[in-house]
Amino acid sequence: EHEVTILLWRSLMSIVDWNIREELVSDQSIMHLRLYTALLAAFSSCNRAVLALLVRVQEYCYDNLAFMKVFEKI
């Protein structure tokens, strides 16, 4: 289940072109992810999946500096 959660995260983040102004990334990413919270929750029912998703989100934000400020909100 945790592998599916990570694949889902990667897919959700890859369908959007994030090459926008840095100050817009925060709002756009929150709006984008808000659409899929129920889907992410459905695949994150066990603790291992939640932890895997949290680590992957943290890695994603660390790798993409525009998302560093958004990490707490995600």
As a whole number of Å, the end-to-end CA separation of the chain is 20
Residue, of 3 and 74, whose pLDDT is higher:
3
Are the CB atoms for 4 and 50 separated by under 8 Å? no
* CA atoms lying within 13 Å on the CB side of residue 31: 7
**How far is C-alpha 56 from the geometric centre of its chain's CA atoms?**
8
pLDDT at 71: 83
Q: What is the mean pLDDT of residues 16-22?
A: 79
The closest of 55, 73, 47, 71 to 6, measured between CA atoms, is: 55
Q: What is the mean pLDDT of residues 41-70?
A: 91
- Other beta carbons less than 10 A from residue 61's beta carbon: 18
